[in-house]
Structure 1
Amino acid sequence: MYLLTQELFFPPVSEANDDGILAIGGDLSPKRLLLAYQSGIFPWFEDDEPIIWWSPNPRMVLFLDELVVSKSMRNILNRNIFKVTFNQNFRAVISNCQNIKRNGQNGTWITNDMIEGYCKLNEMGIAKSVEVWQNEELVGGLYGIDLGHIFCGESMFSKVSNASKVAFIALVDQLKANNYKLLDCQVYNEHLESLGCREIDRIDFMKILKSKSL
């Protein structure tokens, strides 16, 4: 496990341990965050921990043509009960992701310093959000890092049933329309699997990440 200094550097992802932890330390500056995502790495840690940088193997991804939309979800989309916007209120989305209560979690891994780091990336046009509205209220959304050919999803929230799924589907539709290669979902969970995401070897993920030709 590599101990980062102030130098803007990450070791090769092949040096990550079996859990996917590659390095600790460093900072959450926009330059380091961007280098991390460009290198197949992301931060994930609790508020009382040092910054921990991950590159898991396998990697959970969605190949955009493999999105699964259930019949009941299609009915919800067809009813137009939600309004979707893109990158209209990034700070509200990431703040809701921080504060939303999640089953099996006592706290949040989205620290205040992390919010400020990603908001700076949003100002640079790199971090982006999807907002889902119902009756003019923000009820769901997601955010992540846009690398131009891969979107690295970070977190999503839902205050009403299905709102985060609406955000996810809207994002995938937009990525497909702009010829993105895939949506990076980082690590496995059953909810992502139900939407069509699957695990691939980190080597294969890195090949796609490093290939920017559409």
Structure 2
Amino acid sequence: MSEWPTTSGLARYRSERTIVKSRAVKFAAAEMLRSGVDISISSVARHAQVSRAFIHENQELHDRVQQAASEQKKRTHDGTRELVASSETQLRAAERKTFVAQIKELKRRLEAERVEVKHLKIERSKWFGGQIDELTRTPEDICALQDALQVALSERDELREFVGKESDRADRLERSLEAVRAAYKQDYDQSGESHSNVIQTDRFRQ
């Protein structure tokens, strides 16, 4: 016939069970922090297979879970901020490289057009300045030279307009990046406040 456990035996058993469950809670909080799982009183209790009341009633465990949740939030914030900063840096570098290459090419073409226009002006001066015997030139040649000059001037003006538009597009892109950054920061701040409220109120939802 088995004997009923003594009062001291029950107390020792409860103490040992408390130690085991406390270790489980601490291990669960550390493991969830390491793996990036969302930390709250409820989630840690489920992971450690204890009741929420057990954590709430033990101030040390309650503080440990809240500290883990705060550390997780800080890591998430720092990681997100670094990711956003890195992405913005890479995007700006790529856009800057592209625009610099485009502007260099446009400047090269513009300079070539200026040289061509200068050459055509010199030729026109020769035609109409009497430096070359006009009798050796036909009216068709003169008209062709005038047309070529007008085309070159028109292309130069178009290039100037295109360079201006590309500069405006770069400015609009920069403003768009600033708007996206501001919107992302606002959304993240709001989600951070929501997560903090969950940690504070979770202990009363039993």
Same-fold call, TM cutoff 0.5: no
- The structure carrying a bigger helix percent of its residues is 2
TM-score normalised by length of structure 1: 0.18
TM-score normalised by length of structure 2: 0.19
Look at both structures and tell me which one has the larger radius of gyration over its CA atoms. Answer: 2
